[in-house]
Amino acid sequence: MTLPIHKRASTGGAPAPRRSAARTSSTVLCALGVFMLVNGLPIPRDATAGAIKGTVTLKGTAPELKKLAVTIDQYVCGKEKNPEELVLSPQGGIRSAVVWLDKPPAGASAAALAPTATMDQKECLFAPRVVVVPAGGKIDFLNSDRLLHNLHSTPSANPPFNRTQPKGRTITIPFEKPEIIRVTCDLHSWMRGWVVVAEHPYYALTDGAGEFELKGLPAGRYTLKVWQERLGTVSKEVVVGDQDPTPVTLEMPAR
Amino acid sequence: MALINSPLGAPVRAFARIRASVHVKLLAGFLLITFLVIALTVVSLRTVAETAREATLLDQAHERVVWSRQIEHALAMQMHFTSMTLLSQGEEPVSLILRENNRFNDTLARLETAAPAEERTLIQAIRGAQDDAMATVADIANAVRDKKLAEALTALRTRQEPIYQKIETLVGSLVSAEESRMAKLRQSLAATRRQSMRLMTGFAVASVVLALVGGFIISWSFILPVRAAHGFLSDVAAGRFGGTVVVPNRDEFGALAEHMTWMSRELHRLDDEQRVAAATLRGLNDRLALASRAKSEFLANMSHELRTPLNAILGFTEILLDELYGEVPANLREPLVDIQTNGRHLLRLINDVLDLSKIEAGRLELGLGEYSVQEIVEVVHASLRSLAIEKGLAFSVRVAPGIPAAWGDGRRLTQCLLNLAGNALKFTRQGRVDIDVSHADGWLTFKVADTGIGIPKEEVENIFAEFRQVDTTITREYGGTGLGLSITKRLVEMHGGRIGVESELGRGSTFFFTVPLHADGGPA
């Protein structure tokens, strides 16, 4: 068996204060997202079809994020975790932000999002941290750690779930209503995952550089929305015209 | 020369025979001891390290036992919380079960990391069972949340309990394995301690014994040759040459002994040579003495025999001059006076030779008796006054007042003073001659001072030898036998006194002799 303790120990930083994580985690949230399959979408034959290609960036000073101390199950989880609630590229691009059209164009045909996504739990972190799944889709929650995790979430529109998960067992959870759901683990308080249940196909997840692309858009004026777990939601008007793809930069103010 | 025995004779001699300098031997001895100490230190350090290692192993084993206990405890707690969950159906005991289960995993992981290889299999078995237990715990927890109590209870009884019992059994064997390992380690630790004690004691005893024996052997290997040399040198000092110093040493002491032996042989050889030479000389000396005595006796006899005819010649010459045989013609008187003068001179010479011969032959004896210094001086003065007047010299005598009657041979002492004063007058052309006699502390000092020709310094030592005058021309000018001073010296010495001279060439001389007031133990 591999020993993540040792691997993790070498990446360590300053120890953080202890938390009685196990006790306080009364609610669960383990979520999963669906990978957006933006790539490979067929370019619409429609002469009016266009695309938005842009970057989500941080405006202002990046907040200082402390490493998370791990006080339990170090043999799997390591001694500390990098904070992932805001991950920036060197150029300030924000990773794992979700961009979508506030109102999808009527009659437009974007490629449908994959109905099933996977969210694993590896070394006591949700991977990926954010998944997008279409409403009516499902997420397969996995556990690669040789210990118990406990998926826990109390969404507002979808039914809550609270499942104990040993290693190697897949728990599949369906999501019917569009919303952004937080998933936690009762046993490891630092674990956060987000499931974005998409209302329509025009959703995109930013990559490591903070870039995204929305395709299959007729020319017109749109309201773009972007959400990030720490920075909240920001809107921006975009006109899709002859230029293809339409470039856009979404700035999220630091807070 | 045999070595003085020492208690460890054989090793001492063997050590002495080693062909190395004292310096090297001492250094080697000290180094040997030092190496022993270093070896002792190394062994001690290794023992300490071994003990520390075993103690660490013991600690680790103990820690693993503690972890095993924790696992057992975690199991018990899981069972306990599972029961609670079933009773209360609440979320809180569920999370406690999960927590305990993960803690079990954590402890097991630590145990697996720390466990020795032979326990890995056991731990893998526990791990496998624990994987089952995790699934079961998850099922029970989820069943309780789904309100499926019957299902949960079944899972508890049919799955969880057997798994936990299995785990408990496995952990039990793990604990007993660790405990037997600990027992072995404790025994080994004790054995190491005992062994190190024995080793240390052995080393300490060996060091002490080696230091003592080594020191003893080394010091005796030095003491023995020194003693041998001491005995040998005592022999040499006592005059027993020719011995040898035999030492087994092949170091500086050996070289020294060889040198001493060589020196002794040389001394022996020189001693022999010197003895032979001395014997030869003694023989020669005896023969010389015999010859000398023969010569003296011959001279004494000869002188005596010569005097008889000479006395006849002098007697008849005197009778002729006294004209008892008739008137002597004027032209014969002068040759007759010459005959008489020369005859008397010849008689004096013969008398001197006779005296000296007697003295050398040991036949002269002093006629001891009481004498008056004053008388001696007066006799000498009277005898020589006419000569002084004839040469126009001042001639005075002075005798310290209050000299008591002396004991000795007055006639010979008179002869001595007469000799000195006569010489003084003879060798002084102008000026004066003074005789002075003084007395102090039982000794009489006779002094004769002149203003004559003096004596060169190099001649002063020889002036009292027989037939000696300053040079032959002097003999011709002043006459004399050259025996006077020699005879005087002998006579003074026979009285137990000494004679000497102080002189300055051309200015004059002062002869003096001292004799005891009472010579040769005479009456006080």
Complex ipTM value: 0.71
E strands present in B356-496: 369-371, 394-399, 406-408, 432-440, 443-450
Identify the residue with better confidence: A59 or A26. A59
Q: State the pLDDT at residue A108.
A: 64
From the list B94, B105, B138, which residue is nearest A73 (CB)?
B105
Backbone angles phi, psi at B290, to 5 degrees: -60, -45
- Name the average pLDDT for chain B: 86
From the list B92, B105, B141, which residue is nearest A164 (CB)?
B141
Residue-wise pLDDT for B383-393, tens only, equals: 888 888 988 99
Q: Is the pLDDT of residue A209 over 90?
A: yes
Average pLDDT over residues A251-255: 89
Q: Is the pLDDT of residue B447 over 90?
A: yes
Identify the residue with better confidence: B348 or A147. A147
B→A contacts (Cβ < 8 Å), by residue, are 91-92, 94-95, 98-99, 101-103, 105-106, 109-110, 112-113, 127, 131, 134-135, 137-138, 141-142, 145
pLDDT-wise least confident of A30-39, A62-71, A145-154, A217-226: A30-39
For residue A165, the chain B residues in CB contact (below 8 A) are 138
Residue-wise pLDDT for B52-92, tens only, equals: 998 998 898 888 889 888 888 888 888 888 888 888 888 88
Tell me the percentage of chain B whose pLDDT exceeds 70.
94
Q: Which residue of B has its CA nearest to A161?
A: B145
For residue A5, the chain B residues in CB contact (below 8 A) are 109
pLDDT classification of A251: cutoffs 50, 70, 90: very high
pLDDT classification of A26: cutoffs 50, 70, 90: very low
Test A148 with B110 for CB contact under 8 angstroms: no
Q: State the pLDDT at residue B4.
A: 52
From the list A22, A23, A169, which residue is nearest B138 (CB)?
A169
CA distance A183 to chain B (A): 17
| Residues whose CB is less than 8 angstroms from the CB of residue B472 and which lie 6 or more positions away in sequence, other chains included | none
CA distance A35 to chain B (A): 28
Average pLDDT over residues B354-359: 80
Average pLDDT over residues A14-41: 36
Tokens 């102008």 label which residue? B430
Q: State the pLDDT at residue A13.
A: 38
Average pLDDT over residues B131-157: 89
Side chain identity at residue B447, one-letter code: K
pLDDT classification of B149: cutoffs 50, 70, 90: confident
Q: State the pLDDT at residue A3.
A: 36
**Start-to-end Cα distance in chain A:** 42
Q: Is the pTM of this model over 0.80?
A: no
CA distance B100 to chain A (A): 10
pLDDT classification of A4: cutoffs 50, 70, 90: very low
Q: Which residue of A has its CA nearest to B135?
A: A166
| Residues whose CB is less than 8 angstroms from the CB of residue A128 and which lie 6 or more positions away in sequence, other chains included | A33, A35, A96, A119
From the list A3, A146, A162, which residue is nearest B105 (CB)?
A146
The gap from C-alpha B217 to its chain's centroid, in whole angstroms, comes to: 23
Q: Is the pLDDT of residue B482 over 90?
A: no
From the list A22, A147, A165, which residue is nearest B95 (CB)?
A22
Q: State the pLDDT at residue A5.
A: 36
Size of interface A-B (CB pairs under 8 A): 71
Q: Which residue of B has its CA nearest to A23?
A: B95
User: Are B190 and B51 a contacting pair, CB within 8 Å?
Assistant: no
Q: State the pLDDT at residue B522.
A: 42
Test A1 with B91 for CB contact under 8 angstroms: no
Test B98 with A164 for CB contact under 8 angstroms: yes
Q: Is the pLDDT of residue A190 over 50?
A: yes
